[in-house]
Structure 1
Amino acid sequence: MAVARFKDLCVDVACPSAMTSFWGQALGLTSPADNPEVLVGDRPEKTIWINKVTEPRTVKQRVHLDLLTSSIEELERLGAKVRSPITDEQHWAVMEDPEGGEFCGFVRDKVPAYKLMELVVDSADPEAQARWWAGVLGVEVANNSGKPWYWLENVPGLPFPYWVFVPVPEPKTVKNRIHWDVTADDLQPVLDAGATLLRRKDDEIGWQVCADPEGNEFCVFLPPAAEED
């Protein structure tokens, strides 16, 4: 049984105006005139909050986005840079956004208006991570036999097809610059599942900040009745 539901994504940046423009065009989202630091689509779950932070990007991002594009040159025109090009062995380009954050571009002949294909999370134990989040979200884990990556699909509310967990040798050392938010009827089942509470709702924030078993930050939004308990 699910104890939480996907809500939206958040991206930490140094310059919100430039990054809102880049990600809006790259993903096919728009920014409302009354809130220029958020990107929205035709569903609330497609929302991406662009959050200004003071700390600089210092290490490879453990969470990144994979998106669809008609050409890598199109992404370069928006301000991205190619770190590793498409080859016969690698069917995607590893890119950098204007602030150096990693993402991957997959070229397709037909590209939908909303171009986010998957959310990718670096993991010390991708199977355990995938199974933990599958339990929280109430879905099954998918895997190609003999391959070291695992993914979730058909996740309620998820506005893109896949949520992927891939193996990496390096441990998590800093706060993720991309994180996701979830909604829940009650915080306790999320904690009972194995999440760590990092910060409770207070006068500055209206949500609970948690971490999954490998330390990836995520925010839990509760209904007003649950907040009062």
Structure 2
Amino acid sequence: MTLSLGPLIVAAADPAAVERFWRTALGPDAFRDRLRIRQDREPKVVKNRVHPDLYVNEIAPLLALGATVLAEYPEWTTLADVEGNEFCAFPSATDIDSPARLFAVCTDSDRPEELASWWAERVGGNLRAGPDGTLRWLYDTAGWDGVVWKFVRNSDERVAPNRWRWSVLGAGFVDPQGNEVSAAR
């Protein structure tokens, strides 16, 4: 069975502010195709287990939209949006029209190879090696054209539902590692 991935569902205490940030950051068309913002009364309490990776020409436009720098690394910068949701910004090799372009979705897991393999069976695509040589990056999935799904090794205990989650066309469910999957609309 091949499922098709839908947009990322983003929980927000202030949906209008989060939507304004991401619509401007990605551009209206990419925002409409890739994200859905929903109201959540619970505040963000821990690091997100799911976050986007973006290509950028520079980070200044994102800072002007309200992003804050969390950490700087030689190859990328970790930022937070207007509600503290983490995302990573990588310099783009080519000029992009909007402040940012989504190129990957990262999902934390203590067993990333297992979870990547499980999802590969459901959404198709090509399972490839991450930087450590293990098969945990998923390319060419149904529904996420041009977006890599990176399963990132992280043993942090799950203490709250994911504020960012992916969706699938059809009915929602929970994967083997407890990630909630919403039905795309």
Q: When the two structures are superposed, what TM-score results if normalisation uses the length of structure 1?
A: 0.73
| Deviation of 1:17 (Å) | 1.2
Q: Which runs of 4+ in 1 moved over 6 A?
A: none
Task: Tell me the equivalent position of 1:147.
Answer: 133
Task: Tell me the equivalent position of 1:61.
Answer: 48
Task: Tell me the equivalent position of 2:176.
Answer: 213
| One-letter code aligned to 1:24 | R
Which structure has the greater CA radius of gyration? Answer: 1
| Deviation of 1:106 (Å) | 1.0
> Equivalent of 1:174, from 156, 160, 176?
160
Identical residues among aligned pairs (%): 33
Q: Name the stretch that deviates more: 122-131 or 165-174.
A: 165-174
Task: Tell me the equivalent position of 1:131.
Answer: 117
| Deviation of 1:9 (Å) | 1.5
In 1, distance between residues paired with 2:132 and 2:29? 40
Contact 1:149 1:164 in 2 (8 A): no
Task: Tell me the equivalent position of 1:106.
Answer: 90
> What does residue range 76-87 of structure 1 map to in structure 2 within 5 Å?
76-87=63-74
Aligned-pair RMSD on alpha carbons?
2.2
| Deviation of 1:29 (Å) | 2.3
Structure 1: state its 5+ residue gaps.
32-38, 41-45, 185-207, 223-229
> Could you say if the C-alpha distance between residues 71 and 169 of structure 1 is closer, same or farther in structure 2, counting changes exceeding 3 Å?
same
In 1, distance between residues paired with 2:157 and 2:135? 17
Q: Name the stretch that deviates more: 20-29 or 139-148.
A: 139-148
> What does residue range 1-229 of structure 1 map to in structure 2 within 5 Å?
1-2=1-2, 4-29=3-28, 39-40=31-32, 46-87=33-74, 91-108=75-92, 109-111=94-96, 113=98, 115-144=101-130, 146-147=132-133, 150-184=136-170, 208-220=171-183
| One-letter code aligned to 2:91 | V
Aligned residues: 183
| One-letter code aligned to 1:142 | R
In 2, distance between residues paired with 1:168 and 1:145? 14
Structure 2: state its 5+ residue gaps.
none
| One-letter code aligned to 1:169 | S
In 2, distance between residues paired with 1:149 and 1:96? 28
Once the two structures are superposed, what CA deviation does each residue of 1:123-148 show, in whole Å capped at 9, x if it has no partner? 01000010000001123311147435
Task: Tell me the equivalent position of 1:205.
Answer: none
> Could you say if the C-alpha distance between residues 85 and 170 of structure 1 is closer, same or farther in structure 2, counting changes exceeding 3 Å?
same
Bigger relative contact order (CA 8 A; separation at least 6): 2
Q: When the two structures are superposed, what TM-score results if normalisation uses the length of structure 2?
A: 0.89
